[in-house]
Amino acid sequence: MQDSQFRIWCLFLSQVIAIAGLLTWFGKFEPTPQFDTSSYRDYSLESVSTALNDKRTFVYPCVLRLFLIADGSERLLPWFQYASSAFAVGVFLAALLRCDWDPWLALAAASPILVSPMVLEYSSVLTPDLLAQSFSILAVSLWLMVVHTGRSLRACIGLSVFVFLAYQTKPSYLFLLAFVPIGGLTARWWLHSENRDAWKVCLRLSVASLVPFLGWCTLRWFVVGHFGLVSFGGYNIIGIAGQLLKPDWTNQLTSDVQPLADEVLKRRDRQGDWSEDASYDNMESHFNAMVWEIAVPAASELYESDSRVMNRQMANLSGQILFGHPRSYATWLWMAVKRAIRASIELTLRNPIVAISIPMLLVAFAVGWRNGSSRRGCVALECEREFQMIVWTAIGYAMCKLGLVILVEPPIDRYCAPAAVFIPSILVMVACGMVLRIKFRSRKSKRARG
């Protein structure tokens, strides 16, 4: 076993180095700003109240500031983002081995994450997406250890830290607050058949994930008068609600948000290429324009650029539009769900290791069918627990993350890719499991002949 683990780690490190070499070859470590990079660069650290009142969370702005102080530029940040991702996947592999996984299955589960779309496309991008994914992988790694053992104070503390860092890097990772305890309860009860202590594990996980969040929200309540992670939710949801808003709905709104609704409609009408087609593609293409070119300038003019008031009013307006016309919102959600599922499948198939594994899976299935093993299951019985665990983790993680995203914004690839980060592991593990099954049966038949 020790010899197998040594070979596994050698193969893992070889992959990390090879991928870094390929990314360097294709120029993927050149810093690439995006349209929202400036909002992280402009984050103010002049005072605690100013920082807590900003529309961005603090982790990524602090990372940018540290690189500027240490190096005078951001040229090393892509290397840091890649190294953070590789380290997180290494911890994930170590956690699987600590959970008594077969070493080859553990490597099969970890390897596809090294070449996930976020790593290949966002290592160089100066946004928090890849770093947030890395923190979430670290959180899931420690979550797996807590679920496996049922107790581990150090793992719970580490889990608490990385969940906190994940949503402080990118608020869309707030879904971890639900996934960690609920997923832990289900996994402990069902997969590990530990009915007696499943609720205790769920309670530990709830404390680990929720206490820092509630403490942060309480701090913001006392300092800036807002109970929440950040004053930004209204900025997101207005991108959907503002497109659904119709002129004859304004009379149904309360007087405090009617001026904002009227101004949004006026500015929307002035957009020369604006289309009121409620198809998914049209709403996705207009989302950023609705937020940053229409709603935010309108709110800024009405509320004197007070970001907290702007966020509150845009959120209030959005809530009245969506809850006042639930059928329109339900139509949007259904379209977004279909788009999220389709995008997750496409992104999974784009993973290079999945592309290699599919032919291998077909060959292994054909060989196994000829030998009779494929007709009795695609994964060796010895691997069944690991396979069930990765399926539950991958699908539960994806459903929770995408469920949060589609409520407030379009599920573009930038959000679907990190949501589906563990799904390729399922396909690669199936291929590896079939190979292990064929190998196991071959050894068994040789011993029988001997």
pTM above 0.75, yes or no: yes
Residue of 250, 290, 297 lying closest to 274 (CA atoms): 290
Boundary-marking domain end, from 324, 355, 380: 324
At residue 434's C-alpha, the angle toward residues 429 and 440, to 5°, is 120
pLDDT of 27-64, one tens digit each?
Answer: 999 999 998 899 999 998 888 988 998 889 999 999 99
Q: How far apart are the first and last CA of the chain?
A: 25
pLDDT of 361-389, one tens digit each?
Answer: 776 666 655 555 544 444 544 457 778 88
Do 400 and 419 sit in the same domain of this protein? yes
Boundary-marking domain end, from 306, 324, 342: 324
Do 253 and 355 sit in the same domain of this protein? no
C-alpha span between 213 and 129 (Å, rounded)? 20
- Would the pLDDT of 434 be above 80? no
Domain range enclosing 252: 233-324
Instruction: Kindly state the percentage of the chain with pLDDT values over 70.
Output: 90
Q: Residue 121 domain-assigned?
A: yes
**Confidence (pLDDT) at 274:** 83
**Confidence (pLDDT) at 449:** 52
HSE, CB side, 13 Å, CA atoms: give it for residue 323.
Answer: 7
Count of domains in the chain?
2
Do 307 and 438 sit in the same domain of this protein? no
- Would the pLDDT of 399 be above 80? yes
Residue of 115, 131, 137, 91 lying closest to 21 (CA atoms): 115
* Residue for token pair 């499948």: 345
* Residue for token pair 């002035």: 270
Do 24 and 122 sit in the same domain of this protein? yes
Boundary-marking domain end, from 297, 324, 351: 324
Q: Residue 38 domain-assigned?
A: yes
Do 62 and 184 sit in the same domain of this protein? yes
Do 217 and 365 sit in the same domain of this protein? yes
Do 177 and 33 sit in the same domain of this protein? yes
- What is the average pLDDT value for the chain, to the nearest integer? 88
Q: Residue 329 domain-assigned?
A: no
Q: What residues pair up with 125 in beta bridges, in sequence order?
A: 32
